[in-house]
Homo-oligomer: A and B are copies of this chain.
Amino acid sequence: MPDDRPLIILRPAPQERDRIFAPDTLARLHREFEVVDLDTDLSDAALLAALPRAFAVVGQPDLPADRLAAAPALRAIVNVEGNFFPNIDYPTAFAQGIRVLGCGSAYSQAVAEYALGLALDAARGISREDHAARSGREKYVSESNVGAILLRGADVGVIGFGNLGRSLHALLAPFHTNVRVYDPWLPPAVLTDAGVLPSSLEETLSRSTFVFVFATATPESAHLLDAAKLALLPDGARLILVSRAAVVDYDALLAELTAGRIVAGIDVWPVEPIPADSPFRALDTVILSGHRAGGIEQAFHTIGEMVCDDLELMKAGLPPVRLQAAAPELVGRYRNRPVG
């Protein structure tokens, strides 16, 4: 009896199959689909052999126009890295009615919780005092709390109101903060509907005690936060950088932190690993973090579940609802580095 289940090409590299598919999720994928598993076989031959019957490709292989032409049954290409790259001939894919889907939202909760953790740490000096205690220099009660502030009722700025910004905003609800958002891709009504104040970048920076940066790296956003913009931050501001290093001038940031004018929690860096002799490593005004905000097991496993859920919906003739469709207008713009 022929296998009439739709065929899926699974070639997640540089993601790893077992990181994104928990065992039961992988079993489910195999139950619902015929899976051509190319987790370790990155050869063109294997990919090309499977394309003619493929219903979906899960991964980031090169798919120029001629390969798409060889895949008449293809309905979905699922990027499992978190960002869209120029690996696909997008116009051709869209013209063929192929859905190009991304898993970026799988990381949102992890990043938002981490960003809030960094903000509370920056507000209260948690890691600073923990570090001090390890060499017997900790202070107590009021003496340890000079400059400590509440998040409740604070002015908060959010730069970028996509998945990450929205997830962080949801966590702020019980703090009764006053949130300004700068996002040049959204009309004001989307922001006011969400309960935040649409603002310019300048106003967002100059009027916020806490600033969260979630900007996508594009040619336009390179060094969006340069020395002049960072200088707008009020004294004592807390700056939380979890995405993307390219949008900040780190030399200017170092100057502000060295002067003790602001405090920052930094998870993304222009060069990773952070150079051994980086002056950031010695500052008391920074929380150092190695690109850790999103990549936790629960986030990775969510990707596998999203893939299963949406491919099963498509198999049943329904639209996907968990993965996010690539916007034709944006697929050429991103300059993000892969998470992973």
Interface residues on A, range: 35 or more
Residues 296-340 of chain A, each 1 if its beta carbon lies under 8 Å from chain B, else 0 = 111010000110011011100111011001011110000000011
Q: Is B129 touching A288 in the complex (CB atoms < 8 A)?
A: yes
Is the CB of A290 closer than 8 A to any CB of chain B?
Answer: yes
Q: Is the CB of A187 within 8 A of B312?
A: yes
Min Cβ gap A256→B in Å is 19
**Complex contacts, A110 vs chain B, CB 8 Å:** 150
**In the complex, what distance in Å separates the CA atom of A148 from the CA atom of B293?**
10
Residue A116 interfacial (CB < 8 Å)? yes
A113 engages B120 (CB within 8 Å): yes
Cβ of A136 under 8 Å from chain B: yes
Are A289 and B129 also in contact (CB < 8 A) when A114-B120, A187-B309 are? Answer: yes
A338 to chain B, nearest CB (A): 10
- Smallest CB-CB separation from A16: which chain B residue? B142
Complex contact B145–A295 (CB within 8 A): yes
Q: Which of B136, B282, B296 contacts A150 (CB 8 A)?
A: B296
In the bound complex, how far is the Cα of B329 from the Cα of A171, in angstroms? 34
> Once bound together, how far apart are the Cα atoms of A296 and B147, in whole Å?
8
A237-252 near B? 1/0 per residue, CB < 8 Å: 0000000000000000
Chain B residue with minimal CB distance to A183? Answer: B321
The answer to whether the Cβ of A223 comes within 8 Å of any Cβ in the partner chain is no
When each residue 129-156 of chain A gets 1 if its CB lies under 8 Å from chain B and 0 otherwise, what string results? 1110110101111101100111110000
A131 to B130, CA, bound (A): 8
In the complex, the answer to whether B290 meets A97 with C-beta atoms within 8 Å is no
State A282–B292 Cα separation when bound (angstroms): 23
Q: Which of A277-296 contact B (CB under 8 A)?
A: 281-282, 287-292, 295-296
Interface residues of A in 191-223 (CB under 8 A from B): 195
Least Cβ distance of A207 to chain B in Å?
19
- Please give me the residue from chain B that is nearest to A171 by CB atom: B174
- Check B126–A287 contact: CB distance below 8 A: yes
Assess the B281–A136 pair: CB atoms within 8 A: yes
Cβ-closest chain B residue relative to A188: B309
A168 vs chain B, min Cβ distance (A): 10
Does B328 contact A319, Cβ atoms closer than 8 Å? yes
**Contact across chains for B131 and A292 when beta carbons are under 8 A apart:** no
Cα distance A89–B94 in the bound complex, in angstroms:
16
Q: Given A170-B174, A290-B140, A298-B149, A120 and B123 touching (CB < 8 A)? A: no
Known contacts A123-B113, A149-B296, A150-B110; is-contact A138 B288 (Cβ 8 Å): yes
A114 and B124 contact, Cβ closer than 8 Å, known pairs A130-B288, A140-B291, A152-B109: yes
Given known contacts A133-B274, A170-B174, what 8 new A-B pairs fall within 8 Å (CB)?
A109-B150, A114-B120, A117-B117, A117-B120, A124-B292, A140-B272, A187-B310, A317-B329
A-B contact pairs, 14 of them (CB 8 A): A95-B96, A113-B124, A114-B120, A121-B126, A124-B296, A129-B292, A133-B288, A133-B290, A142-B295, A142-B300, A170-B174, A187-B310, A187-B312, A189-B309
